[in-house]
Amino acid sequence: MSIDAMRWAKKVKTGKSSAKAVLTWMADMCGADLCAFPSIPALAEATELDKKTVQSSLQYLVSIGLIEDTGERRGKTKQIPVYRLLGVEESVAEIEHTQKREHYQKRDRLNTPENGVVTAEKAPENGAVSCTQNNQTIPFFSVKRSQKRDPESTRGTKRYNPHT
C-alpha cells in the first residue's frame, strides 16, 4: 500500500461514488510503483459493487485520466490488466506545500491576538475562553457557584409521584 496514493485517492474528486470506491481500493492495493492489478471479482468484493459496475468504473477512471492501463498483464492466465495511478506525485507535493504554509500561518496567528489578551478580569464566568499567560494557553475556569434552589420558587407547584 502506498500512503501517498491513499492520500491522493481520498482527496481527488471523481464525480461518481462507485468510481471513488474503486479508485480508493486500487490505491490501497498499489505498491511503491503506483501500479495495481486487482481482478474484477476482487474489486467487486472489496467495494461491495457489482462486477459490471466495477468494470464501468475502471473505464470511467481511465477516461478521466486518473488511471491508465500499462499494457502489462498479470495473474495465472496473464489476463488481469496492470493499472497505474496518475497524478499522485504532483498531488503529494502540493499537499506537503499546503500543510507547511498552513503551519506557518497558524504559528504566526498564535503570537498576535486580534482583540488583545484575555485576562482573568475580562474572562467570562462560564470558562469558555482560554487565558493566555507567558505565551501558553491555559483554560480559565471560574469559581463554582452554589446551585441550590430557591424554596420560594417551587411553592404552589405539584410534583409528580408515580406511586400515588
For residue range 3-51, list pLDDT tens digits in order. 889 999 999 999 999 999 999 999 999 988 999 999 999 999 999 999 9
Mean pLDDT, rounded, of the chain? 77
Distance CA(12)–CA(19), nearest Å, equals 11
Same structural domain for residues 136 and 83? no
Same structural domain for residues 9 and 71? yes
Same structural domain for residues 74 and 115? no
Distance CA(116)–CA(113), nearest Å, equals 5
User: pLDDT value at position 134?
Assistant: 61
User: pLDDT value at position 126?
Assistant: 59
Predicted confidence band of residue 55 (pLDDT cuts 50, 70, 90): very high
Buried b (16+ CB within 10 A) or exposed e, 98-137: eeeeeeeeeeeeeeeeeeeebeeeebeeeeeeebbeeeee
If one counts the domains in the chain, the total is 2
Backbone φ and ψ for 12, nearest 5 degrees, come out as -70, 145
Same structural domain for residues 73 and 138? no
Same structural domain for residues 123 and 64? no
Nearest to 119 by CA among 134, 108, 107, 109: 134
Whether the per-residue pLDDT at 107 is higher than 70: the answer is no
Written as nine digits, the cell of 103 is 503551519
Domain extent at residue 18:
3-90
Residue 129 or 21, more confident: 21
User: pLDDT value at position 108?
Assistant: 57
